[in-house]
Structure 1
Amino acid sequence: MKTFFKDNGLTIVLVTMFLFSVLGMIWSGQAAHNKELAEHGSPALRLLAYMASGNFLSGLFENWESEFLQMTAYVMLTAMLFQRGSAESRDPDNPDRPNDEFPATTRRRNPVFSWLYSYSLGIALALLFIASFVLHWWASLMAANEEALLHGGEVQTLSGYLLDAQLWFESFQNWQSEFMSTAVLVVLSIFLRHKGSPESKPADAANSETGA
């Protein structure tokens, strides 16, 4: 058991922090949403009803969408572009890595599998982004229609809502922060260090050294 926690500690801690944050989001979101409902003379939502509401699901999936977009862009762009001196970049003078290609015999025997597996991380993240965007689109429509019913507005359709400014405002407000934070990490890792982290160059490495 001790070996299991040592070998998987990063995943265990991150999943625990994720679950804690989701619970905090549910607790605080339900309280805030019920306060708004009370101001309009509507009954409060119970826990399960709130978790199934557009208000909660829209907030949940719009954040998942932006995170998966960030990771997709990061994985794909770092395969094509460089930033000299950054721990987050391959060395532009020596970009090739060992074991980054299947043997020629494997590529000839299973060309489709070889290609798909070679790019499987980026593909998987891109599919997760698309799935979370669709879920955000659907949940944001739910939230907009719940709000419309609360205020006597017009209910929208799924196809019509795709062109609604509210959907894209929710997406872009998250996308911009993801791209900004990734760019900050790429640039700061040129000059700053965090001893022991694979996201940082060694503490004594030169600023010009590229890659961790």
Structure 2
Amino acid sequence: MKNGQKKYSFFYRNGLTIVFLSLFLVTLFAQALTGWKAHNRELAENHGSSLALTTYLKSGHFISATFENFESEFLQMALYVILTVGLRQIGSAESKSLDEEEEVDREPQQRKNAPWPVRKGGWMLKLYSNSLAICFCLLFLISWGLHLYGSWQDHNVAQVLHHQSEDSIIEFLTMPEFWFETFQNWQSEFLSVASIVFFTIYLRQKGSPESKPVDAAHMETGK
């Protein structure tokens, strides 16, 4: 240890990411396995050929189901990052103060340990200053495109099984099926964000950075 600094383990320093990525991989595998079995049963009921697991992972059924969820999560995060810049909610731990300048609003300084784009300045700094929102927006658009592709492919598999002609992706976009899948995920994400914004006004979780201090007044805005 130098200068009195504690030496933490790798897991202690990165535990939140490790745990959530581990949960993601476990549940993604469970989704793939159960989705594969469910899809093969559906194919068998319609006199279709069953798929190997590796083939299923490239199927529209798996791609659509996976990126349908990714899409709504990235949309949620993109809007949350962008809207919390200018919008407020009195009393919420998820809101900036109503009338005080906050650390996140200060102009970046070209100090020694600042990220490279900050020290570079110019358009690089401008881009980096909005990089979190840009990242989530791009991830949303990619996920939306893959959800559309997967849902379209899965739709055409069903069309073939029912001895009907396949539809183009443009034709599929005019059908309610894809948009039903889309909106049922979006609305749940908007509700979850609204819930944490509102409930942090009145409820507490000691030790969580998503909560105000336990003894904070209900109408005290921010953490």
TM-score range, shorter chain: over 0.9
Percent identity reads: 46
Q: Deviations over 1:76-120 (max 9, x none)?
A: 01011000100000011114326732249x98x733112111111
Match of 1:162 among 173, 176, 187: 173
| Alignment check: 8 A CA contact 2:47 2:161 kept | no
Compute the displacement of 1:38 (Å): 1.4
1:23-47 Cα distance to aligned partner (Å, 9 max, x none): 1101111111111111112222110
**Which residue type is aligned with residue 114 of structure 1?**
L
Matched residue count:
212
Aligned counterpart for 1:117 among listed residues 100, 109, 128 = 128
**Structure 2 Cα separation of the partners of residues 89 and 186 of structure 1:** 8
Instruction: Give matches, 1:35-74, under 5 Å.
Output: 35-74=41-80
Question: Corresponding residue for 1:128?
Answer: 139
Q: Which range is displaced more, 88-97 or 133-142? A: 88-97
Provide the rounded CA distance (Å) in 2 between the counterparts of 1:98 and 1:10.
22
Classify 1:95/1:144 alpha carbon distance in 2 versus 1 (closer, same or farther; 3 Å): farther
Q: Which amino acid aligns with 2:124?
A: F
Specify every segment of 5 or more residues in structure 2 that has no aligned partner in the other structure, as ranges: 1-6, 111-116
Q: How does 1:82-101 map to 2 (within 5 A)?
A: 82-97=88-103, 100-101=106-107
Task: For residue 42 of structure 2, give the secondary structure of its aligned residue in structure 1.
Answer: helix
1:120-151, CA deviations, whole angstroms, 9 ceiling, x for partnerless residues?
A: 10011001101111111111111111111111
**CA separation of 1:102 and 1:187: change in aligned 2, threshold 3 A:** same
Please give the TM-score of this superposition, normalised by the length of structure 2.
0.89
Runs of at least 5 residues in structure 1 that lack an aligned partner in the other structure: none
Question: Which residue does 1:142 correspond to in 2?
Answer: 153
2: CA distance, partners of 1:65 / 1:112: 29
Q: Deviations over 1:165-208 (max 9, x none)?
A: 21111110100000001000100000001111111001111111
Give the distance between the partners of 1:74 and 1:24, measured in 2 at CA.
29
Say whether the 8 Å CA contact 2:156–2:166 is kept in structure 1. Answer: yes
Q: Give RMSD over aligned pairs.
A: 2.1
